A and B are shown apart, each in its own frame.
Chain A
Amino acid sequence: MKKQNYLSVQNLTKIYGKKKPFVAVDEISFDLKEGEILGLLGPNGSGKTTTIQMLLGTLSHTSGTILYFGKEFPRYRSEVLQSVSFASTYTSLPYILTVRENLKCFGLYYGIRDIDTKTDPLLERFGILDKKYSPISSLSAGQITRLMLVKAFFTNPKVVLLDEPTASLDPDMSAEVCTFLLEERKRTGLSILFTSHKMEEVSEICDRVIFLKNGKIVADDLPKNLARSISSYQLRLTIVDGMKRLIALAEKQNITYKVDNRVIALFLDEKEIPNFLHAIMQQNIAYTSVQIKEPSLDDYFIKLAEKKK
């Protein structure tokens, strides 16, 4: 069965200023399907947060259309946002109020009266149930980030917009959040738009990734395909004897390399690795360790940032 688009963005543009116009987001188009986890990535200033703010209606767009569940946004703002929620590391909550008081107010904004049955399992899952009656001011940054996730998920959303939701979390809690997101998607079929600077996390949970650069979409693909599209495998060898011969061999075969003391990193296709190792053996080059690194989304991200420079 064909999955419906929960979110459809067409030619979305944001231009700041009139005298010296600055194009923050430049005619981007993408869809978010039911049950899909979409990564929105890009270097700082690429337009990720601007895009999310426009999708929330807290920033108006200059042109283009946003459709949630087929309904025009922000025309049907209140109705649409009933099924859309948001969490970000960069916002906070009224710090005088307790966790429960804050969630109670947010529950009422979404028309939920009885919040405890909905929030308690989530608070427990994120390890902050014991903070339920504590003021926000007594929570650590990581605990506030987890509370933001509780706020985003207890309202039964169909679409969740997450702006770097794991930025201030320890690795174990970040992993727990990723597991939770995958479980929630499986359980409810919700869709998630996800921004993060942790590429490993993005590769793990996102079905698809959009790369933004200077406000434009420069790539839209599976995380695996993006990584492979620009980067070769990395063969790292610690050389005991024959570094000069190895460099000559690499240059002869047009293989890119980087030397750091006794360690050489060679960038080549996966298929070329066995033949190259065989050639090294024939040249009597001695090495103590060998390491093969698969191309990652990190490599893609770095390459993109380098292009900017």
Chain B
Amino acid sequence: MNWLRISGVFLRYFYVACKGLHQLSDLFYWPLVDILIWGLASAWIQSQSHVENLPLMLMTALIFWQITWRGSVDISVSLLQEFWHRNLVNLFSTPLKISEWIAGMLLLSFCKLLITISFGAVVVYVLFALNVFTVGWAFLPFAASLIIFGWALSFLSSSLIIYWGHKVEMFAWMIAFIFAPFSAVFYPIEILPYWAQIIAWCLPTTYIFQGMRAIIATGTFPFHYFWISMGLNVIYLLISLAVFSFMFEKTRKKGLARLE
């Protein structure tokens, strides 16, 4: 892998991120809207219930969910940008390797994630006087696990997009929400019906959200949850990368130009 080419990819999407209103709304506007709605709703629910630390649990869950969602859209939307700008053939007729393109995008995705988390945490603290870093140092491994799953989802939606093009572009934004109900983001897994719980325990995100609630409730970090989550992540990420590489080569047989 060539560092200069990776930095070229990083720069290409960084310029867009700094200029596009659409990109800026992803970074700031939608997280803010979510925080306001969920913050106010959780404050009201807390006043009506006896669940301890409910607003903190919901707001931390919300910030955590932003991490997965952020990761799940970054790669696929970057790919779509190349379609929209009719730049796909230009891009892949250079010495750039697909692995370098991925590395550059993941690097930028990570930077955007830091911005979203920082912004969200500050807004939650200012508006609702809640500190989402209450989970302490566990925040970092949890966040790492969540973004890896987001990336795995993004590679899956990108696999569909690189082959079927514009007609499946909605998967870029949809894919994370397909898994959200099973991930027990805002509620304990026990709420789900049995069949849904089986699916839920197959998702790395479920372990993180269960773990997050455990820390807030008991102050204990559930190591086993974290390791299971990471193990599943490695499997899903490798599978999604393999699927993406396969679909990318498959689409070369039809030609990248047809996607522009």
Contact = CB atoms under 8 A, between A and B. Distances in A.
A91 B252 contact: no
Nearest to B81: A94
Interface in A63-118: 77-79, 81-82, 84-86, 88, 90-97, 101, 104-111, 113
Nearest to B19: A96
B93 interface: yes
Chain B residues touching A, majority SS: helix
Given A94-B87, A106-B94, A109-B95, A59 B5 contact: no
A49 interface: yes
Interface stretch (B10-18, B47-55, B222-230): B10-18
Contacts, number: 106
Contacts of B255: 50, 53, 58-59
B40 to A, nearest CB: 35
B94 A81 contact: yes
B85 A60 contact: no
B90 A111 contact: no
B134 interface: no
B92 to A, nearest CB: 5
Contacts of B254: 16, 59
B79 to A, nearest CB: 13
Chain A interface size, as a band, is 35 or more
A57 interface: yes
Which of B95, B96, B252 has the largest number of chain A CB atoms within 10 A? B95
Nearest to B250: A60
A105 B95 contact: no
12 contacts: A57-B92, A58-B93, A78-B96, A81-B94, A85-B93, A88-B89, A92-B86, A93-B87, A105-B8, A108-B11, A109-B94, A151-B90
Given A91-B260, A105-B8, 17 more contacts: A53-B89, A57-B252, A58-B252, A79-B95, A88-B89, A91-B87, A91-B89, A94-B12, A94-B81, A94-B87, A96-B16, A97-B19, A104-B11, A106-B90, A108-B8, A109-B5, A111-B95
Interface of B: 2, 4-5, 7-9, 11-12, 15-16, 19-20, 81, 85-97, 249, 252-257, 260
